[in-house]
Structure 1
Amino acid sequence: MTARPARSARPTPETDQPHDLVGIGIGPFNLSLAALAHGIPGTPHPLAATFYEQRPAFHWHPGLLIDGASLQVPFLADLVTLADPTSPWTFLNYLRARDRLFPFYFAERFHIQRAEYDAYCRWVTEQLPGLHFGHQVDAIRWNPERALFEVAFTQLDPHGEAEALGRAHTRHIALGVGTEPHIPEPLKSLAEAGSVPVIHSADYLHHREQLLDAEHLTVIGSGQSGAEIFLDLLRARPAGREKLHWLARTPAFAPMEYSKLGLEHFTPDYTRYFHALPEPVRDALVPHQWQLHKGIDHDTITAIHEELYRRTLHGGWPDATLTPGVCVRTAGRVATTRVELHLEHPQQGTRSRLTTDAVVLATGYRERPLDQMLDGLHTHLRRDTSGRPRIDDQFRLDLDPAITGNIYVQNAERHTHGVGAPDLGLAAWRSATILNNLTGTTAYHLPQRTAFTTFGLTPHTPKIPAQGPALTPLVQSN
């Protein structure tokens, strides 16, 4: 049976009238922007904003919602609180709506579980207007006659098949397409073939039962996800017959930098400082800051050690090998069901082989490339010496003056804004910064200073941006 061609969507008041803002992607960051854009305080007209997401519904890392796994940021790092604690979309208001405020109060939890954060975000998406799931954005172009962006999209049915084509016009765009799982090159062909279980941690829970059936398991990656998966597998394996390997490139299974002054690297003050640094300095700095965002929280490290120690109480050692400082040179299939990893230890200058039945790649995520989506604007887009988009301190792509609208980016600016780009704790501040710039007003009051640390000898003084065009009377949102 041939696929049914997509029909053109009927024009609606929403597609006929230009929006002030179109958001592409509905993850936590664009959901934060949507929540703060809904009923901006002090503005006479509502912001005409709409958001498109390819997936049929909101789900935040569903393959990693391991029982008991917690966020690494406090609950105050919700979608809105650090910009507007009076918003109806706070985590505390979510608890109130679910009659759970008192249980939360007595639980005395500053760090909530990931599953609870996912449920909170889904609660917001179920009530917040202007969110369109099952809409795949295909292209973005600039219409010079109308001085608007054209956003072409495909409406998908529940099975992900094209159902209708549509187009929206907007003055500004916010890209929040998120990141994608990173699979190291030596293991890419095995992961893609699917003939042996080599999976990314993003899909861990979907394959957990299959993994537990494997005789020998290997986890690769020293970050929080790798630690949580190793701990979950360890707890599920019988004592003395664990048959687990945990490998990592980092020189140690190291704790996250979680000191109070260390956390100030995730403040607007440090973000502004980092952005003002020369490009070569920024590029050299980020790899050395891995413990700020790629370490393991103290509780998880403690739980792993306690579980390993518990298995020594009656003599003997658990059959679990934890080896940092190791890289995978190559990998291949042995027979039809096993994997052979060719390992190297650079400090020792040694190499060895490890045969295993399944591999979990807790190897992190990479920013999704924007080039395909922005192909219609490539001649207008300014890039740095490495070919990456230049992004200013208001989170806007650097476009030539022929384009009068702005394209804002969320979680695609680590090379310009530092390690805080993917951090949930900066979500509300970044969204408020974008909305202040977009409206040309101080829609949200943002603090001038956020850290006790003074970064640099000549501190960057934040200014209220005047570049954002003041909005003319707006089209009413549907």
Structure 2
Amino acid sequence: MRSGRVHDLLGVGIGPFNLSLAALLEPVEEVEAVFLEQKPRFEWHPGLMLEGTTLQVPFLADLVTMADPTSPHSFLNYLRDRGRLYNFYFLERFHVPRREYEHYCRWVSERLQSCRFGEEVEGVRHAGDHFEVSSRDTATGGRRKYRARHLALGVGTVPHIPPCFEGRLGEDAFHSADYLPNRERCLEAASVTVVGSGQSAAEVFHDLLCAQKERGFRLHWLTRSKGFFPMEYSKLGLEHFSPEYTRYFHGLPQKKRDEVRSRQDLLYKGIDVETIAAIYDLLYERSVGGAYPDVHLMALAEVGEAERTERGFRLHCRQIEQDRYFAHETEVVVLATGYAYRVPGFLEGVRDLIRWDGRGRYVVTLDYRLEKTAGIPNEIFVQNGEIHTHGVGAPDLGLGAHRAAVITNRLAGRAVYPVRERNVFQRFGVA
């Protein structure tokens, strides 16, 4: 089925960032948009929806507030609509439960007519003055074609699987994104090893640690990072997640950007201080009276190979600073190895229109447009695919509404949402 109209914008993927764009575009009459998502409804990291986990950003980093606090799609209006304003008021917390953030986003997605779920985008091609997008209905298999002047990519990231585990995934080895569906397998095992660092690794480890005393499995945590360090969360450090730092970072040469970002892991990959404290407190309590829990943590431990055994896996590891090798036996492996950016396959039909850098990544303008090789009037915007050009704030929810506001203003040709030039106290370079 072919759509007769030519949409001003077609968004691919409905995660928090494209959902933010959809919400901010709703009252903009001159921009008609549609957003497609292959999942049947909004979901956000369902495999890590552990009880007690919260966002690592304040509730003000919802879909709209940082661009338009008066929007009916704000988190506070969600609370009012659900009859939870007083509950939240008495909670006295700045960081909301992760489960409630997902519920809030689903609430917004169900209020927006522009959001269509159960449609998987399969291909894109350029046709004269617009893009033609082909999609498949995931329930019926039926095909549709859409036409749009501009595109917004919000497909997100995919779990990163170390090469040594490629082809070995299953119930005994899986990414932390699939932890909850495989949690019972972990609790039944004789030994479990968490590989990786960061918040996801810490949350999975803590959840297993809480269950270990009752279930009796051995528990290990290996990471090649230098230690189990907290995320940088000082007030001036947080100013790196601002439009000013984004603008400063974008102005650097690409080689310098890569060099700078390689030293910024703790700005966005560290562990929440409270999670570290909860882990340590539980280990301390378990060691009272001379006991020692069957728990082992090792940093600077790099997993090089994974060998299948009758009882699970034999991991061939190296202690990086000592340059010493050792083998580690485990029944189950949870790979908390982060997420990777990828170029979606459906872009193959317009690949030649996109300018790529020397490492096969998008070249992205400051206002989030992909640079093109041809002078066509049609734009492709990218959301959370530009960390290499815009810095550590690209995946951060706190900058999501700002980026969506910039894109909205570009599409409308006017300042629908004023973008302030000055938001932080420090300067990030010489003007």
**RMSD, aligned α-carbons:** 1.3
Give the 5 Å matches for 1:52-131.
52-131=36-115
Partner of 1:178: 156
Partner of 1:399: 372
Runs of 4+ in 1 over 4 A off after TM superposition: 239-242
Matched, 1:415 2:415: no
* 1:317 CA drift (Å): 1.5
Q: CA separation in 1, counterparts of 2:252 and 2:336?
A: 31
One-letter code aligned to 1:183: I
Q: CA separation in 1, counterparts of 2:201 and 2:352?
A: 41
Which residue of 392, 400, 409 corresponds with 1:436? Answer: 409
* 1:163 CA drift (Å): 2.1
One-letter code aligned to 1:376: G
Q: CA separation in 2, counterparts of 1:379 and 1:404?
A: 16
Give the 5 Å matches for 1:221-232.
221-232=196-207
Contact (CA 8 Å) 1:26, 1:51: kept in 2 or not? yes
Q: Secondary structure at the match of 1:374?
A: helix
Query: After the TM superposition, which of the residue ranges 309-318 and 344-353 deviates more from structure 2?
Result: 309-318
Partner of 1:338: 312
* 1:400 CA drift (Å): 3.0
One-letter code aligned to 1:90: S
One-letter code aligned to 2:11: G
* 1:385 CA drift (Å): 2.2
One-letter code aligned to 1:367: Y
Q: Deviations over 1:377-420 (max 9, x none)?
A: 12221112222221000100001343211110000001111111
Contact (CA 8 Å) 1:240, 1:317: kept in 2 or not? no
Matched, 1:138 2:116: no
Q: Deviations over 1:265-305 (max 9, x none)?
A: 11011001000100100111112100011100110000000
Give the 5 Å matches for 1:350-429.
350-370=324-344, 372-429=345-402
Q: CA separation in 2, counterparts of 1:377 and 1:46?
A: 26
Matched, 1:32 2:36: no
Partner of 1:233: 208
Larger radius of gyration: 1
Q: Secondary structure at the match of 1:204?
A: helix
Q: Deviations over 1:83-103 (max 9, x none)?
A: 000000000000000110011
Residue 121 and residue 82 in structure 1: after superposition, are their counterparts in 2 closer, same or farther (change >3 A)?
same
One-letter code aligned to 1:197: D
* 1:122 CA drift (Å): 0.7
* 1:376 CA drift (Å): 1.6
Q: Secondary structure at the match of 2:24?
A: helix
State how many pairs are aligned: 431
* 1:240 CA drift (Å): 11
Q: CA separation in 2, counterparts of 1:26 and 1:219?
A: 30
Q: Deviations over 1:350-400 (max 9, x none)?
A: 111111010100000011323x22222122211122222210001000013
Contact (CA 8 Å) 1:239, 1:318: kept in 2 or not? no
Partner of 2:183: 208
Q: CA separation in 1, counterparts of 2:138 and 2:366?
A: 35
Q: CA separation in 2, counterparts of 1:231 and 1:242?
A: 14
Contact (CA 8 Å) 2:224, 2:320: kept in 1 or not? no
Contact (CA 8 Å) 1:240, 1:318: kept in 2 or not? no
* 1:314 CA drift (Å): 2.4
**Which consecutive residues of structure 2, in runs of 5 or more, have no partner in the other structure?**
none
Contact (CA 8 Å) 2:188, 2:215: kept in 1 or not? no
Which residue of 314, 317, 321 corresponds with 1:347? Answer: 321
| Identity of matched residues, % | 50
Q: CA separation in 1, counterparts of 2:110 and 2:411?
A: 26
Q: CA separation in 2, counterparts of 1:340 and 1:76?
A: 45
Partner of 1:190: 168
Partner of 1:471: none
One-letter code aligned to 1:245: H
Contact (CA 8 Å) 2:300, 2:321: kept in 1 or not? yes
* 1:139 CA drift (Å): 1.2
Contact (CA 8 Å) 2:158, 2:341: kept in 1 or not? yes
**Which consecutive residues of structure 1, in runs of 5 or more, have no partner in the other structure?**
1-8, 459-478
Q: CA separation in 2, counterparts of 1:98 and 1:378?
A: 44
Partner of 2:290: 315
Instruction: Please report the TM-score for the alignment, with normalisation by the length of structure 1.
Output: 0.88
Instruction: Please report the TM-score for the alignment, with normalisation by the length of structure 2.
Output: 0.98
Partner of 1:167: 145
Q: CA separation in 2, counterparts of 1:379 and 1:127?
A: 37
Q: CA separation in 2, counterparts of 1:387 and 1:100?
A: 47
Q: CA separation in 1, counterparts of 2:394 and 2:411?
A: 20
Contact (CA 8 Å) 2:190, 2:216: kept in 1 or not? no
Partner of 1:475: none
Q: CA separation in 2, counterparts of 1:204 and 1:75?
A: 25
Q: Secondary structure at the match of 1:17?
A: strand
One-letter code aligned to 1:248: T
Q: CA separation in 2, counterparts of 1:437 and 1:26?
A: 20
